[in-house]
């Protein structure tokens, strides 16, 4: 398969780990099993990738880590992913699909900005600079019937990482990550776009949209070959650059977040959840905000309106309508205020 991006086996990752809180050239040469000249070259390579590495009488010390990028995310990452980073790309999902088709596994395509970001059903996804636009190639051992659990895992991973960053993130069925209006600092600021998620037709979208998940997959009957899990998070996107009804980690938490740390936590949670798909639904239910509400779900076959009462083991929504229960497998869900 194609060997892309920066992986856990990259020498620079080993060098940064070996430097730790400080190490001399000879110590590093011994730890890495290479010559002192090679150590110097590797340290230079880390500097070229944006790390500030000071060399003093006590040896090397890392004094600055780049805000974002492949090496920044992979060094210190407790998950098996390789990361391919782009400052700007049309769509991380498109490249991830190409990589998946050529045999890649456990690869994350990550970008600061997308020029042609996609939502579900070919809707446009605004992806200005400052986001965490990521697409992860996975080959989970799961039947196609349960593949939707991978999508739910994506929403849970984003939610957990956002909550750790201090944002009151919740999941609106099936996989929108939203921030309730009361937790949105910019909601009342007249100078910025409406980031409450409210509409004037009796729906509230469940809050302002922080992130979305776009899953694309390939397989034959009964067998899933690969999944590309696209997670788009408005991370350090200022209010003025957000579409109406959206919010960002920066807006909701009152200042820029550490995108490197956020992305690492997102990928670590994702790796754990995909390893244990049986645990995903419970985790999803812990953070969801749809059950118990009146909803209207637009499906390819029409609209379903009623009270959301349950989710099935595969993540489908059960809606109690005036004329019985309906199970909805996919669609756009609005929360109704009345």
Choices 11-19, 44-52, 88-96, 147-155; region in contact with ligand BT5 by CB under 6 A:
88-96
User: Which of 25, 119, 144, 238 touches ligand BT5 (CB under 6 A)?
Assistant: 119
Asked if residue 174 has a cis previous peptide bond (ω within 30° of 0), the answer is: yes
- In the complex, residue closest to ligand BT5 by CB: 212
User: Which of 82, 118, 170, 260 touches ligand BT5 (CB under 6 A)?
Assistant: 118
Per-residue string for binding with ligand BT5, 234-273, x by CB under 6 A? Answer: x--------x--x---------------------------
Per-residue string for binding with ligand BT5, 165-184, x by CB under 6 A? Answer: -----------x--------
CA dist 148 and 174 (Å) reads 9
CB atoms near residue 67 (< 10 Å)? 13
In sequence order, what are the beta bridge partners of 230? 135, 214
Least gap, CB of 42 to ligand BT5 (angstroms):
32
User: Helices then strands (H, E): number in the chain?
Assistant: 9, 14
Of 124, 317, 117, give the one whose Cα is nearest residue 206: 317
Give the CA count within 13 Å in the CB-facing half-sphere of 281: 13
Tokens of 47: 């500097």
Phi then psi dihedrals of residue 35, to 5 deg = -75, 165
* Helix residue ranges, H only, 165-277: 249-253, 259-275
Nearer to ligand BT5, 4 or 23 (CB): 4
- Confirm or reject binding of residue 93 to ligand BT5 (CB under 6 A): yes
Nearer to ligand BT5, 194 or 268 (CB): 194
Residues engaged in binding ligand BT5 (CB under 6 A): 91-93, 114, 117-121, 123, 125-126, 133-135, 176, 209, 212-214, 230, 232, 234, 243, 246
């Amino acid at each position: 398969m194609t060997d892309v991006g920066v992986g856990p086996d990259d020498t620079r990752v080993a060098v940064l780990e070996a430097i730790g809180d400080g190490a001399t050239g000879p110590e590093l040469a011994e730890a890495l099993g290479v010559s002192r000249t090679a150590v110097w070259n590797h340290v230079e390579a880390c500097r070229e990738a944006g790390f500030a590495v000071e060399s003093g009488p006590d040896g090397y010390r890392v004094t600055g880590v780049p805000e974002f990028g492949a090496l920044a995310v992979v060094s210190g990452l407790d998950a098996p992913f390789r990361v391919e980073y782009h400052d700007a790309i049309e769509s991380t999902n498109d490249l991830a699909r190409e990589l998946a088709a050529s045999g890649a596994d456990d690869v994350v395509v990550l970008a600061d900005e997308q020029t042609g970001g996609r939502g579900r059903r070919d809707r446009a996804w605004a992806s200005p600079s400052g986001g965490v636009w990521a697409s992860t190639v996975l080959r989970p051992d799961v039947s196609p019937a349960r593949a939707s659990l991978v999508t739910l895992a994506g929403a849970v991973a984003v939610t957990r990482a956002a909550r750790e960053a201090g944002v009151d993130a919740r999941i609106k069925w099936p996989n929108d990550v939203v921030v309730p209006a009361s937790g949105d600092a910019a909601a009342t600021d007249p100078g910025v776009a409406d980031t409450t998620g409210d509409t004037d037709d009796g729906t509230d979208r469940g809050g302002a949209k922080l992130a979305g998940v776009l899953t694309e997959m390939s397989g034959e009957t009964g067998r899933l070959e690969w999944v590309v899990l696209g997670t788009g998070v408005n991370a350090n996107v200022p209010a003025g650059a957000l579409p109406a009804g959206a919010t960002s980690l920066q807006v909701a938490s009152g200042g820029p977040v550490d995108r490197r740390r956020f992305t690492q936590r997102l990928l670590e949670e994702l790796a754990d959840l995909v390893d244990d798909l049986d645990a995903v639904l419970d985790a999803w239910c812990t953070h969801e905000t749809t059950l118990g509400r009146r909803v209207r779900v637009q499906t390819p076959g029409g609209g379903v309106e009623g009270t959301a009462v349950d989710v099935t083991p595969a993540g489908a929504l059960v809606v109690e309508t005036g004329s019985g229960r309906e199970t909805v497998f996919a669609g756009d869900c609005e929360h109704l205020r009345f």
